[in-house]
Amino acid sequence: MTELVLAGARQPGAAGPVNLHLRYGAVAGISSGGDLPAGVEVVDLDGRYVIPGLWDEHVHMTQWALHTNRLDLSGAATAGAAAAVVRSHASAADPSITTVGVGFRDALWPDVPTLEMLDAVTGNQPTVLISHDLHCVWLNSAAARRYSVEPDVSGLLREEPAFALTRELGKLPDSVVDAWVLESARDAAARGVVGVVDFEMTWNREPWLRRIADGFDALRVDAGVYPEDLERAVSLGMRTGQEVDGGSGLLRTGPLKVLIDGSLNTRTAYCVDPYPHGGHGLLTVSEEELLGLLGRAGAAGFVPAVHAIGDAANQVALDAFERAGIGGRIEHAQFIRIQDLPRFGQLGVTASVQPVHALDDRDAAESNWPGRTDRAFPLRSLLHAGATLALGSDAPVAPLDPWAAISSATTRARPDGRGPWHPAEAMTRQQALTASARGRAGIRVGDPADLTVLDADPLTVPDAALAIMPVAATLLAGRFTFDGGLA
Ligand SMILES: [Zn+2]
């Protein structure tokens, strides 16, 4: 489809519907009135809302695809309830692929898991369930045969045997993983997503080239590179923003991802003040090493994306950007010293943030950064200090759904009645939409025809509706990647 008109399209906050003329993958014109060119396909949006296509700026795509194909057992209050979840999925199971469940908490169960109980609901379908803390697996007899392990009557393995079996579960044929990635990408397109920055921790070029050669066309992908692969990437002529696959135009080289600290929940985020239990967390790369990497990245045309969560880590990252004389991104930017807020904008460092984590980690932040959480996830303060924000999920840590991020960023609350957390740090809806669309605040002639069509006005729907925004269609370069019955 080289040419298409979206008629009756409304832009949030703008007067009256317009016609969007899409040609060769771009927005070629915007007109009002009824005179449409003859011989061109027209899709009537009937007054629906159109916004620039949404991006998720931080995902781990393979991990997300694996995650969505595992049964969630976190809600099972008994071994029997976990078995019931497994039973309800048994009919759809493919015996060549082991069924995997995750998140059970057997320490809280009043009943005792047994091999017999799991066999009764799974039959010959190999099934392995992994505990919430990953230190225990519960498997059935078919899985015991497949992986040559010998559990006792409990069907449980703990510690090293559990870890070893879990590692085996990750070894799936490419064809299986690729099919799951495609399914996850289509689900993302159905939520209005046109592109992702994939930080899968591996050499990611060949898997994506293979998927695209096999017909993957649901999303644009900027595939990140890790320092251990930087010289390999440079020798292949790769640089951030450059197309890897000229044929489809979907795959580009992403940023160079550099991790310099840990995480809040493991108390390894590197912080200025000590944690209540002691220690400042971990700086996993020295300042000189980081400076060297940024210099090398800059010279080779790579945009650095530095993972920094604690306030001391963010300070180290900003110092390194300043000394290297280049801009880039900081991934997470969860905890920032007040005096560092303006440095993001001054240095040209984008804050790539995951607003859902602010609510997931609210209690962990209060206990580990007591009295200081007014500068935790400081979204509005960053914006007001001149920073560019880019929203993402860090899927599978949070679901790959931009509306969850937009909702968290703008309300700082969940519909759980708890009340908002530091509501002064909420972004406006327009700010959150712009930060989810690579800085595009509206649709302009010359833009790529990457568009998201909504059934409601994202600037005025109630908060509860924003979190589950109904998406009518998604277009990538003028082609429907999701079409909820419109076209
Ligand atoms: Zn990540």
Measured in Å, residue 304 CA sits from the centre of ligand 1 at 14
Is 254's pLDDT higher than 90?
A: yes
Pairing of strands 193-198, 220-225: parallel
CA 4 to chain centre: 30
473 and 348: one domain? Answer: no
Measured in Å, residue 136 CA sits from the centre of ligand 1 at 25
Residue 381 in any domain: the answer is yes
Mean pLDDT of 315-344: 98
pLDDT, residue 29, reads: 96
Q: Whole-number mean pLDDT of the chain?
A: 95
137 - beta bridge partners?
A: 130, 157
pLDDT, residue 1, reads: 60
284 and 345: one domain? Answer: yes
242 and 385: one domain? Answer: yes
pLDDT, residue 170, reads: 82
265 and 315: one domain? Answer: yes
pLDDT, residue 134, reads: 82
pLDDT, residue 416, reads: 78
Residue 59 in any domain: the answer is no
Is 266's pLDDT higher than 90?
A: no
Q: Predicted confidence band at 253 (pLDDT cuts at 50, 70, 90)? A: very high
Measured in Å, residue 397 CA sits from the centre of ligand 1 at 8
Is 380's pLDDT higher than 90?
A: yes
Residue 260 in any domain: the answer is yes
Number of neighbouring beta carbons within 10 Å of residue 324: 21
The number of domains in the chain is 3
400 and 486: one domain? Answer: no
Measured in Å, residue 392 CA sits from the centre of ligand 1 at 10
46 and 136: one domain? Answer: no
400 and 432: one domain? Answer: yes
Which residue range forms the structural domain that includes residue 207? Answer: 178-439
CATH of the domain at 149: 3.10.310.70
Q: In what order do the strands lie in the sheet with 451-454?
A: 49-52, 451-454, 471-476, 479-483
Measured in Å, residue 479 CA sits from the centre of ligand 1 at 29
Measured in Å, residue 7 CA sits from the centre of ligand 1 at 39
Mean pLDDT of 11-22: 94
Measured in Å, residue 47 CA sits from the centre of ligand 1 at 38
Residue at which a domain ends, from 103, 134, 169 = 169
Measured in Å, residue 58 CA sits from the centre of ligand 1 at 6
230 and 140: one domain? Answer: no
Distance, first Cα to last Cα, the chain = 12
Residue 60 in any domain: the answer is no
CA distance 179 to 197: 19
Residue 62 in any domain: the answer is no
184 and 272: one domain? Answer: yes
Residue 149 in any domain: the answer is yes
Residue at which a domain ends, from 169, 186, 202 = 169
- Contact status, residue 178 vs residue 66, Cβ threshold 8 Å: no
Tens of pLDDT, residues 172-209: 999 999 999 999 999 999 999 999 999 998 899 999 99
Q: Predicted confidence band at 308 (pLDDT cuts at 50, 70, 90)? A: very high
Q: Predicted confidence band at 245 (pLDDT cuts at 50, 70, 90)? A: confident
Residues with CB under 5 A from ligand 1 (ion): 394
CATH of the domain at 467: 2.30.40.10
Residue 61 in any domain: the answer is no
Mean pLDDT of 145-163: 94
CATH of the domain at 332: 3.20.20.140
The rounded percent of the chain whose pLDDT value lies above 90 is 89
Measured in Å, residue 333 CA sits from the centre of ligand 1 at 12
Is 34's pLDDT higher than 80?
A: no
State the virtual CA torsion across 344, 252, 302, 406 in degrees, nearest 10.
10
Q: Predicted confidence band at 329 (pLDDT cuts at 50, 70, 90)? A: very high
Pairing of strands 451-454, 471-476: antiparallel
Is 414's pLDDT higher than 90?
A: no
Is 65's pLDDT higher than 80?
A: yes
Please tell me the least confidently modeled range out of 114-123, 129-138, 385-394. 129-138
259 and 406: one domain? Answer: yes
The rounded percent of the chain whose pLDDT value lies above 70 is 100
Residue at which a domain ends, from 439, 457, 475 = 439
CA distance 37 to 348: 43
φ and ψ at residue 8, rounded to 5 degrees:
65, 40
Measured in Å, residue 53 CA sits from the centre of ligand 1 at 22
Record the pTM.
0.92
One-letter amino acid identity for 390? A
190 and 267: one domain? Answer: yes
At residue 480's C-alpha, the angle toward residues 475 and 484, to 5°, is 100
99 - beta bridge partners?
A: 127
Q: Predicted confidence band at 46 (pLDDT cuts at 50, 70, 90)? A: very high
Measured in Å, residue 22 CA sits from the centre of ligand 1 at 34
Reading the block at residue 294, the tokens are 């940024």
Measured in Å, residue 307 CA sits from the centre of ligand 1 at 8
pLDDT, residue 415, reads: 73
83 and 228: one domain? Answer: no
Measured in Å, residue 486 CA sits from the centre of ligand 1 at 35
Residue 183 in any domain: the answer is yes
Residue with the bigger pLDDT between 91 and 349: it is: 349
Measured in Å, residue 207 CA sits from the centre of ligand 1 at 18
Is 363's pLDDT higher than 90?
A: yes
Tens of pLDDT, residues 434-482: 999 999 999 999 999 999 999 999 999 999 999 999 999 999 999 999 9
